[in-house]
Amino acid sequence: MIFPLAAALALTLATLLLMVPLALVPALLGRRQWPYWRAGLWLHAGLFLLHLFVTFPGLLGYWGSRQLGTRPHERTYAGPRLGTDGQLLVQDWDSLEREAKAGRAEVAETIVTAAARRQQAIPSSDGVTLRAFRLEATREPPVATAVLVHGLFRSALELEPVAKLLRELGCECWLVELRNHGGSSRAPFTAGLRESDDVVAAVQHVRNIPGRAQVPMVVFGVSLGTVAVSLALPRLDGLKGVVLDAPIDDLSAAARRLMLFRRPDDSRSWLAIHEPWQSLVLQSLELWSGFSVDAVVPAVVLANLPVDLPVLLVGAGRDDRATPETVQRLFDSLPMPAERRRLWSVPDSRHGRVFLDDPEGYREQLRWLLSVGRQPR
């Protein structure tokens, strides 16, 4: 409750402090000060309540709708890089920071230039243009093409570790940045609803490339990316597999878990938002972005997938957003037989970090998905 109170207090003090110089006017006129201050304090008591229950959630909803985007740590990301041996040179926040401080790339200019050439623009709905990066496979034709979608506040940078594993298994990878993230253009944020159009647009773009229409395709999403991928699945035919890492089951429930910020070892825990502000913030987001939070329920879509579609769910035992319980329920609701679905969870990992904490295990799970996807149906 500290965050809403602190925000409302700050907004109230901003105008309350203006009363000090204005108090000079009645003082110079020789009038009594108390009536002026009494009226001003009562006014600001009302303003405090207004800011607490209207302005604060309204501003947060507006920020979520219009200002949300990639974290500053990775806004300089300019695409995946391959070394002279053809292997992916995985970047992260630390490597980007080192390059920013040095004022130059730590790798050869030819590698940086080649990374820029991998960038492609993909038109999506609402006038949005997506930035995507194509990572060629280590073999031709590839075992499969993989369209990868990142999480909230991230960019294609987050996808590099998974792309590295998929390329080692013979896949061509497309690292797609959702609207409002990375180098893609902006539109009102809908937490995966209209972002699902971005996934559909990316898949269609890849399939329209000569020689790729008949290549098996898998789609991957992590965190927010799982919402966009899940809602796009009914519009994607002929997929050979789906990977959902830290899958979100229900937007409303997940958003409330996110706002609770239950991370004892995180200094930002004071930003936790409880009821009634959770509902007020979500209602504000709905008004600013023109959608219903309750309409974004990936669990319903996943429970009605084709029974022959291979699905891999990846969970983490210490995930406070896609909790182990919700991931298990999602898995239990999948309609396909046991040989075409798999749940893999790493007990000591956190939200969206399994591919960093156990890359070898992750590779084996991806290998399973690709092998199942190639089996006759």
Q: Considering the domain boundaries, does residue 264 fall inside one?
A: no
Rounded-to-integer distance, Cα 252 and Cα 294, Å: 6
Q: Considering the domain boundaries, does residue 274 fall inside one?
A: no
Q: Considering the domain boundaries, does residue 263 fall inside one?
A: no
| 0.85 surpassed by pTM | yes
Question: Residue 104: what are its φ and ψ, rounded to 5°?
Answer: -160, 160
Note the pLDDT tens digit of each residue in 172-197.
999 999 999 999 999 999 999 999 99
CATH label of the domain that carries residue 353: 3.40.50.1820
Residue 176 shares a structural domain with residue 28:
no
- Final residue of a structural domain among 49, 67, 85: 67
Q: What value does the mean pLDDT take over residues 31-51?
A: 85
Question: How far from the centroid of its chain's Cα atoms is residue 204's Cα?
Answer: 21
Residue 138 shares a structural domain with residue 245:
yes
Q: What value does the mean pLDDT take over residues 74-100?
A: 93
Collapsing DSSP to helix, strand or coil, 257 comes out as: helix
Q: What value does the mean pLDDT take over residues 190-212?
A: 96
Residue 35 shares a structural domain with residue 132:
no
Res. 243: pLDDT tops 60: yes
Rg (CA), the chain: 24
The DSSP call for residue 221 is E
Rounded-to-integer distance, Cα 271 and Cα 121, Å: 36
Nearest to 135, CA basis, from 106, 96, 176, 107? 176
Residue 97 shares a structural domain with residue 36:
no
- The number of folded domains in the chain is 2
Residue 168 shares a structural domain with residue 212:
yes
Residue 213 shares a structural domain with residue 246:
yes
- Final residue of a structural domain among 42, 67, 92: 67
Collapsing DSSP to helix, strand or coil, 133 comes out as: strand
| Between 132 and 2, residue with greater pLDDT | 132
Rounded-to-integer distance, Cα 156 and Cα 151, Å: 9
Rounded-to-integer distance, Cα 312 and Cα 367, Å: 11
Rounded-to-integer distance, Cα 141 and Cα 170, Å: 9
Q: Considering the domain boundaries, does residue 321 fall inside one?
A: yes
Residue 38 shares a structural domain with residue 169:
no
Residue 137 shares a structural domain with residue 52:
no
Nearest to 183, CA basis, from 216, 150, 139? 150
> What pLDDT, on a 0 to 100 scale, did the predictor assign at position 377?
45
- Final residue of a structural domain among 48, 67, 86: 67
Collapsing DSSP to helix, strand or coil, 144 comes out as: strand
Residue 80 shares a structural domain with residue 53:
no
Q: Which ranges in 214-358 belong to alpha helices (H)?
A: 224-232, 251-260, 277-289, 298-302, 324-333, 354-357
> What pLDDT, on a 0 to 100 scale, did the predictor assign at position 306?
96
Res. 299: pLDDT tops 60: yes
Q: Considering the domain boundaries, does residue 303 fall inside one?
A: yes
Residue 40 shares a structural domain with residue 130:
no
Q: What value does the mean pLDDT take over residues 129-154?
A: 96
Domain that holds residue 364: 76-250+296-374
Task: Give the model's confidence band at 84: pLDDT under 50 very low, under 70 low, under 90 confident, else very high.
Answer: confident
Q: Considering the domain boundaries, does residue 88 fall inside one?
A: yes
The structure tokens listed for 61 are 């909803």
Residue 162 shares a structural domain with residue 243:
yes
Q: Considering the domain boundaries, does residue 304 fall inside one?
A: yes
Collapsing DSSP to helix, strand or coil, 147 comes out as: strand
Residue 224 shares a structural domain with residue 300:
yes
Note the pLDDT tens digit of each residue in 115-136.
889 999 999 999 999 999 999 9
Other Cβ atoms less than 10 A from the Cβ of 341: the count is 20
Q: Considering the domain boundaries, does residue 280 fall inside one?
A: no
